[in-house]
Amino acid sequence: MGYPNFVGEDIEKWMEQFHFSTAIKIRFSETDAYGHVNNVSYFTYFEQSRLEYMEHLGIVEQLVNESSDTLVVTANLECHYLNQLHYGQIIHVHVKTVRIGKSSFDLEYVITDQEKEKIAAVGRGTIVHVNRMNNRSEAIPEAIKEKLTRFDMVKS
């Protein structure tokens, strides 16, 4: 199975563009009857790393605050499975912003196995900034756009 188009032809160059990652130890509850990580768990890894990425940038309070008038939602999320993972392995989930729009931004992910240094999965998704009162998209505050842009050198 090859890499999806968003990765491009030069996997090493693509990997060099990631400036944030978080380590996760795979729990037994995330595995299936065959002993490998269940496909749905990869999305949980993406979520955990996405939130830690936002914490690292200092924007999580503005985007995930229950008392705020706005919130962020995941509009779409995809995962391409490349190698199996198993209980007890330590993985690194890398996250980067690749596009910033008026009310949404796109993230890409890569999950690597720490020991084997293999790519287990790659993914991408769109996060939308939403007004809680009318459930419609709303412009991302400039301060948040600036932090995303500065960290991953993305043009908004």
Per-residue pLDDT, 42: 98
Q: Cβ(140)–Cβ(105) under 8 Å?
A: yes
Per-residue pLDDT, 62: 87
Average pLDDT over residues 25-33: 95
Q: What is the reported pTM?
A: 0.93
Please check the confidence at residue 1 and state whether its pLDDT lies above 80.
Answer: no
pLDDT in tens, 88-122: 999 999 999 999 999 999 999 999 998 877 999 99
Which sequence spans correspond to the domains of the chain?
10-152
Please check the confidence at residue 137 and state whether its pLDDT lies above 70.
Answer: yes
Q: Output the CA torsion sign for 5, 113, 51, 35.
A: positive
Q: Cβ(63)–Cβ(54) under 8 Å?
A: yes
Please check the confidence at residue 39 and state whether its pLDDT lies above 90.
Answer: yes
pLDDT in tens, 57-74: 999 988 887 878 999 999
User: In the chain, pLDDT over 70 holds for what percent of residues?
Assistant: 98
Taking each helix axis as running N to C, give the angle between helix 142-152 and helix 39-57, from 0 to 180 degrees, rounded to the nearest 10. 110
Q: Which architecture, in CATH terms, is 10-152? A: Roll (3.10)
Buried b (16+ CB within 10 A) or exposed e, 90-113: ebbbbbbbeebeebbbbbbbbbbb
CA–CA dist 129, 105 (Å, integer): 9
What is the band of 156 on the pLDDT scale with cuts at 50, 70, 90?
A: low
